Amino acid sequence: MVPAKVNCAASAVFKFTDQQTVRKVIRALPPVGVGTYYGIPQTRAASLYSPRQLFQKSTMTLRWQKGEVSNFQYLMFLNTIAGRSFCDLNQYPVFPWVLTNYESDTLDLTDSNNYRDLSKPIGVLNPTRHAQFLERYASWDENDDIPPFHYGTHYSTSGFTLAWMIRVEPFATQFLNLQGGKFDHPGRTFCSIIRSWKNCQRDTSDVKELIPELYYLPEMFLNSNNFTFGIDDDGLVIDDVELPKWASSPEEFVMLHRAVSALLWLLYAVILVNSVGVAALESRYVSAHLHEWVDLIFGFKQKGPEAEKATNVFFHLTYEGNVDLDSIADPVMREAVEQQIKSFGQTPSQLLHEPHVPRIPPETPITEEEEPFKSIYLTFKVTSDVPVTHVAANTDSSVPSPAVVTISCNQCFSVNKWITSADPKRSLRGVQVEQDPMLATSAGRQKRQLGEPLDQSVTPCACCFVVTADNKYIMACGYWDNSFKCFSADGGKLTQCVFGHWDVVTCLAYSRHVGLIGGDALVVSGSRDATVLVWRWSEKLQRVAATDREEGDNPSPLAILTGHEQPVVCVDVNASLGLVVSGSQEGPCLLHTTAGNLLRTLRGPGDCVRPRLLKLSRDGLVVVNYTDGTGHLAVFTINGRLLSDKKLDDQMLALALNKDGNFFVSGGFSRYLRLWRTHDLCLLHTYPPCDGSIRALAISTDQRCLVAGLASGSILAIAVNFPGRL
């Protein structure tokens, strides 16, 4: 079977009869390889690499060592190249248990005693049970045709996956099909995190690990479909999953669980005057020991003498290559062996034969004694007394020209060069922003003007503009001819007019693909005609185009998103998730796929019906600001659940999420910048007032700088430390 990911962000698995057919199909397809995100060339040869070759040729391990990708991302990478897929229940991605404390009222994430020993298999953690597995292996009859093993069951099977996900469709239906139309006995139904952990410590037939959903999907713990699971032997009605006492909700459990997995590296150092670190969501322990677990599941301790030493030998049919199904001529015998493999589970492809390298420990943040707190480190005028209405901070070193790009209400833009010193990790003293020299002369200012006039009914705001990730092009909307336009950031030259709407385009959003899809981006436009259109930005052609071969100025949208009955006023897109969220003038927000399918309607809390701003995080949280009353904030899951809402005392004009979406910064008429935690809308910090209302916000790529555009015509940069390690 060959997994594939297509441009609409959907995944599919194709089953071919033999390797020769696979080669023919790959020769017929474009040379996409496995995508650029893994650092592997986009060639047809790369599509035929073995799992071990993919591991060796990828840059992901080095990036993980440096902290450029999270533990979660790295585990998903290993699972993917080792043949694990969300499309195959028999080879579902496998993740580790990392905690042992599920019973206390609070959870101290700095205490190593709360963590599982990742150097040992689940079956070894309990000494008594470990002895039983050792005895089984030592006493095995050498004359038996079946090789000796420690564990008769596996850490990952289709049955285990369905049991974890029994409250969520389509897994519930698949479970019922597997069980003859009935749910399992209530005593065996997944109903408690604590019980599941204890069971895999004492039951010799339970050595299962976890699945990724326990780190990102709070809905799996809720019986939202009102299934009847029955009553267990203790008289407990099986309904929602019982969570540890230290988690007050499924969302909090997932947030803390992910923090333990080092998905969240919380802001530290200079956010608060007296702060030297917020360690509650940061787990150096897991990052320091995760490579040991990788050795067991994907590495040199997976099989052979090292697996025997580590008490990590499973039933022989679970290992890749131990059975040649093509050599079994009898169809009945072949089906029986296939069913055995499905029942016993399947071990991932072995990726390395030597110990996995450890992660490089993060550097200790510079303390206040070494570098005094300095909040605002840079401010200058861009357009005197003309509000700065849009800011982009594409400052990554991989960008040809790192810069802070600003656009003002009079459509004057600036490209302010971002200069990083040789030691950029020393907070923000190693960064300079060179003011755009073109603004110093009249002739230069002419080259910094988006010359096309806006419709007289349009008030320029942040959502009217987007800047491409390489800082080379600016897209703008609000024109009388119902188009949005692309301009060169080099000289302000109009390069393309994109038509598709029947009324004025009111908002734009841009998202570059991250992951397997490649380097292109999606552009989304919302209009007064109540539709949202999805477009493809071709980095090769440097224009909006349906394909890299498309010519002419009339590209077709990839999808038309409908469902609104009022003019669309705000929109956001995440190309990696394949999702678009949009809000209309007086109506609910809608969540679509980038292929055009309407997924959810997000109805505001109470009487909130006027969304102004919205953001979609990479982890699937939607933050919406409503203008009803004095303002209202709400945060939803992509499954439509309202997690939290809060009334405001100030109309919000700008909002920026950090990279992982767990925090955001807001600003408005009150001139105060505020830092929030996303999932519960907890206000963490309020900065001193700026010299004007805040019209635009952006966070630099390295998460170390917050840039704000002000009504006074100034921009200012503030030292934050959303971590570089995400």
Q: Is the peptide bond before 400 cis (omega within 30 degrees of 0)?
A: no
**704 secondary structure, DSSP code:** S
Is 162 part of any domain?
yes
What is the average pLDDT across 681-710?
A: 89
Residues 59 and 114 in one domain: no
User: Are 271 and 214 within one domain?
Assistant: yes
pLDDT of res. 263: 33
- Please give the structure tokens belonging to residue 329: 């001529």
Q: What is the pLDDT of residue 363?
A: 65
pLDDT at 82: 94
Q: What is the mean pLDDT of the chain?
A: 85
User: Is 585 among the domain residues?
Assistant: yes
- Do residue 54 and residue 167 come from a single domain? no
| Structural domains of the chain, count | 3
Element (H, E) at 486: strand 483-488
Is 239's pLDDT higher than 80? Answer: yes
Tell me the C-alpha distance between 235 and 231, whole Å. Answer: 6
What integer pLDDT is reported at residue 517 of this predicted model? Answer: 44
Q: Which residue has the higher pLDDT, 124 or 9?
A: 124
For the segment 387-397, the average pLDDT, to the nearest whole number, is: 90
Residue 229 forms part of a structural domain: yes
Residue 109 is inside which H or E element, if any?
A: none
Residue 390 above 60 pLDDT? yes
pLDDT bin (cut points 50, 70, 90) of residue 546 is confident
Last residue within a domain, chosen from 295, 323, 344 = 344
Please compute the mean of the pLDDT values over residues 219-239 and round it to a whole number: 91
CA distance 474 to 390: 11
Distance CA 526, CA 511 (A): 15
The answer to whether 39 and 59 have CB atoms below 8 angstroms apart is: yes
By C-alpha distance, which of 414, 556, 526, 527 is closest to 471? Answer: 414
Distances from the Cα of 577 to the Cα of 55, 160, 560, 620, 656, angstroms: 24, 26, 18, 8, 18
- Listed residues 344, 371, 388: the one ending a domain: 344
Which residue would you say has higher pLDDT here, 433 or 356?
356
Q: Give pLDDT, residue 593.
A: 94
The answer to whether 270 touches 721, Cβ cutoff 8 Å, is yes
- Decide if pLDDT at 204 tops 70: yes
The model's confidence at residue 234, banded by pLDDT at 50, 70 and 90, is confident
List the CATH number of the domain containing 586: 2.130.10.10
Output the pLDDT for position 267.
30
* pLDDT exceeds cutoff 60 at 74: yes
Q: What letter does residue 123 receive in the DSSP assignment?
A: G
Residue 321 pLDDT exceeds 90: no
User: Are 467 and 340 contained in the same domain?
Assistant: no
User: In sequence order, which residues have a C-beta less than 8 Å from that of residue 385 and are 6 or more positions away?
Assistant: 712, 713
Q: State yes or no: pLDDT of 150 exceeds 70.
A: yes
- What one-letter code names the amino acid at 690? C
The structure tokens 């000289």 sit at: 491
Radius of gyration of the chain (CA): 27
Does residue 40 sit within a domain?
A: yes
- Find all residues with CB under 8 Å of 450, minimum gap 6, and list them: 407, 411, 412, 413, 474, 476, 485, 487, 492
The answer, yes or no, to whether residue 213 has pLDDT greater than 50, is yes
Q: What kind and span of H or E run contains 479?
A: none
Residues 648 and 609 sit within 8 Å (Cβ to Cβ): no
Same domain, 35 and 125: no
- 79-88, 177-186, 440-449, 542-551: range with lowest mean pLDDT: 542-551
pLDDT more than 70, % of the chain: 88
C-alpha 203/C-alpha 205 separation (Å) is 5
On the 0-12 / 13-18 / 19+ scale of CB atoms within 10 A, 502 is exposed
Find the mean pLDDT for residues 219-225: 93
The neighbouring-strand residues paired with 676 are: 664, 683
Lowest-confidence pick of 212-216, 354-358, 564-568:
212-216
Residue 670, in any domain of the structure: yes
Please determine, for residue 361, whether its predicted confidence score (pLDDT) is greater than 90.
no
Residue 235 and residue 98 in one domain: yes
The rounded distance, in Å, linking the Cα atoms of 548 and 446 is: 32
Nearest CA to 221 out of 238, 239, 240 is that of: 240
Within 298-427, residue ranges assigned H as helices are 305-309, 331-344
Distance CA 392, CA 64 (A): 27
- The answer to whether the CB of 356 falls within 8 A of the CB of 431 is no
- Assess whether pLDDT exceeds 90 at residue 29: no
What pLDDT score does 79 carry?
95
Q: What's the pLDDT at 395?
A: 87
Q: What is the mean pLDDT of residues 195-221?
A: 92
Residue 43 in this model has a pLDDT that exceeds 50 = yes
Residue 516 gets which letter from DSSP?
S
**570 pLDDT more than 90:** yes
Task: Report pLDDT digits (tens) over 604-662.
Answer: 888 888 999 999 998 889 999 999 888 899 999 988 889 999 999 888 999 999 888 88
Q: For residue 404, is pLDDT > 70?
A: yes
Report how far residue 334's alpha carbon sits from residue 313's, in angstroms, rounded to the nearest whole number: 24
Tokens 């897994």, residue? 171
CB neighbour list of residue 426: distance below 8 Å, 6 or more residues apart? 366, 371
Q: Looking at residue 274, what is its pLDDT? A: 26
Given a contact cutoff of 8 angstroms between Cβ atoms, the answer to whether 533 and 561 are in contact is: yes
Q: Answer yes or no: is pLDDT of 673 > 60.
A: yes
Beta carbons of 634 and 624 less than 8 angstroms apart: yes
**Are 622 and 473 members of one domain?**
yes
- C-alpha dihedral, 16 to 17 to 19 to 20, nearest 10°: -100
Beta-strand pair 521-527/465-467: unpaired
Closest-CA residue to 95 (of 156, 7, 137, 14): 156
Assigned domain for 678 exists: yes
Instruction: Please indicate, yes or no, whether residues 189 and 297 belong to a single structural domain of this protein.
Output: yes
Nearest to 535 by CA among 554, 563, 514: 554
CATH code of the domain containing 113 = 1.10.1540.10
The tokens describing 240, both together, are 């929602």
Residues 620 and 688 in one domain: yes
User: What sign does the CA torsion over 305, 158, 220, 234 have?
Assistant: negative
Residue 268: pLDDT band (50, 70, 90) is very low
**For the segment 469-504, what is each residue's pLDDT rounded down to a tens digit?**
999 999 999 999 999 999 999 888 999 999 999 999
Average pLDDT over residues 537-560: 82
What span, in angstroms and rounded, lies between the C-alpha atoms of 669 and 671?
5
Confidence category of residue 540, pLDDT binned at 50, 70, 90: confident
Mean pLDDT, rounded, for 74-78: 93
State residue 548's pLDDT score: 62
Amino acid identity, position 547: T
Range of the domain at 20: 1-69
Q: Tokens at residue 633, please?
A: 């904030």
Considering the domain architecture, whether residues 98 and 170 belong to the same structural domain is answered as yes
Report the distance separating Cα 311 and Cα 302, nearest Å: 10
| 433 lies in some domain | no
Cis ω for the linkage preceding 170 (within 30 of 0): yes
The alpha-helical segments, DSSP class H, found in 591-704 are none
User: Of 304, 327, 344, which marks where a domain is finished?
Assistant: 344
Read off the pLDDT of residues 425-438 as tens digits, 9 standing for 90 and up.
Answer: 544 556 678 888 88
| Residue 721 pLDDT class (50, 70, 90 cuts) | low
Domain assignment present for 389: no
The average pLDDT across 377-385 equals 77
- Contact yes or no for 608/626 (Cβ under 8 A): yes
pLDDT greater than 70 at residue 557: yes
pLDDT band at 421 (very low <50, low <70, confident <90, very high): low
Cα–Cα dist 455/126, whole Å: 71
**Do residues 226 and 131 share a domain?**
yes
Q: CA 617, CA 619: separation in Å to the nearest integer?
A: 5
- Please name the residue that has the structure tokens 């004095």: 630
Residues 447-466 have pLDDT tens digits of 888 878 888 888 899 999 99
HSE on the CB side for 356, CA within 13 Å? 33
Does residue 65 sit in the same domain as residue 104?
no
